[in-house]
Amino acid sequence: MLRYSLKRAFSLAISLAVASLVIFAVIEIAPGDPASFMLGVNAQPDTLAALRTELGLDQSKAERYISWITGMLRGDFGTSYTYRTPVSQMIADRMWVSLPLALYALALSTAIAFPAGIYAASRRGKVGDLTVMSATQLGVAIPNFWFAMMLVLVFAINLRWFNAGGFAGWDKGLAAGLHSLTLPAIALALPQAAILARVMRSALLDILGEDFMRTARAKGLSRRQALWRHGLRNALIPVLTIIGLQFSFLLAGSIIIEQVFYLPGLGRLVFQAISARDLIVVESVVMLLVFAVITVNFLVDLAYAAVDPRLRSRT
């Protein structure tokens, strides 16, 4: 297991190095000068040059890349061009919204998908199976931003159970914070739950056709007992893959939902930084999200090896 973990850790480090180069290159070649954007088109050349020097934009791209990478390794993400505050502080403030939102949505998605997928697999071809598959097909087809607006319309405007947007803050208590994140979490969770439920059902049905499952049935176990005692564990590998990918998506891809609900999260921060040509913020946040995605995949690989030890000998 240690050798397997070290190989995966080495792959993680290589992936992060390549990702940092790609992120820096793509963002730096984007048109527009942050200094010119901040001062306007009528700025004097000497004032523009002074601001470029202050922001470090007069350095070569190689020097700026090395400075950016070494700073991140020390925990220093630089200073925002627009807000003139440390990027690490801006990220930390907004991470307390985006990370709980992603975890909340993932918990809801898993809590819905696991029972639905198991129920559908245990009643293959019956009314229950068809009902679950129809519901998941609808969940996959509905765009989450449209679903989010419908949630606002029904539960915020008509019923007034929730606020239409904004975040109360954790300083007002855990209940107030979770209450503010409930509608966004549902909007993110239900489409992901539909996907996860279909994967769970498919994985369980594949397992039911295996020899060890037929042996369990021959020993007197019912279909449902064999499913719970022997099938569920062996069906977790593809399900873990989807859960890992979903968490990465929920953390990095919630920009539209954060815009709909006016949440001060990482997605909205990136959107505002792109609009203001705040390159250092965009680079740092995107790199952090890539790190989160790659790290989650690394942890999923380790979970694979824990669930199925045969995978350790294949690498």
Does any domain span residue 40? Answer: no
DSSP letter at 230 equals I
Tokens found for residue 99: 């990370």
Which residue would you say has higher pLDDT here, 30 or 301? 301
DSSP letter at 86 equals B
Does any domain span residue 58? Answer: no
Give residue 183's pLDDT: 93
Choice among 89-93, 248-252, 302-306 with the minimum mean pLDDT: 302-306
Choice among 38-47, 129-138, 205-214 with the minimum mean pLDDT: 38-47
Nearest to residue 102, comparing CAs of 260, 248, 304? 248
Does any domain span residue 39? Answer: no
Does any domain span residue 258? Answer: yes
254 touches 188 (CB < 8 A): yes
Q: How far is CA 77 from CA 73, 81, 271, in A?
A: 9, 12, 18
User: Helices (DSSP H) in the chain: which residue ranges?
Assistant: 2-28, 34-39, 45-55, 61-73, 87-122, 127-141, 144-151, 174-208, 211-218, 223-226, 232-234, 236-252, 255-260, 266-275, 279-307
d(CA 312, CA 301) in angstroms, rounded, equals 10
Give residue 193's pLDDT: 92
> What is the tens place of the pLDDT at every residue in 70-85?
888 888 888 887 788 8
Tokens found for residue 122: 């245990």
The number of distinct structural domains making up the chain is 1
Tokens found for residue 293: 């995605």
> What is the tens place of the pLDDT at every residue in 213-244?
777 777 777 766 777 676 777 777 778 778 87
Q: Residue 315: pLDDT above 60?
A: no
Does any domain span residue 214? Answer: yes
Sign of the dihedral defined by the CA atoms of residues 281, 282, 287, 288, in that order: positive
pTM of the model: 0.80
Does any domain span residue 75? Answer: no
Q: For Cα atoms 104, 108, 113, give the angle at the middle one, nearest 5 degrees.
A: 145
Does any domain span residue 45? Answer: no
CATH code of residue 253: 1.10.3720.10
Does any domain span residue 200? Answer: yes
Q: Which residue has the tokens 């963002």?
A: 27
What's the chain's average pLDDT? 81
90 touches 78 (CB < 8 A): no
Q: How far is CA 211 from CA 62, 120, 125, 231, 262, in A?
A: 58, 21, 21, 11, 52
Calculate Rg over the CA atoms of the chain.
Answer: 24
Q: Which domain does 256 fall in, by range?
A: 87-313
Residues 6+ apart with CB under 8 A from 162: 155, 156, 179, 180, 182, 183
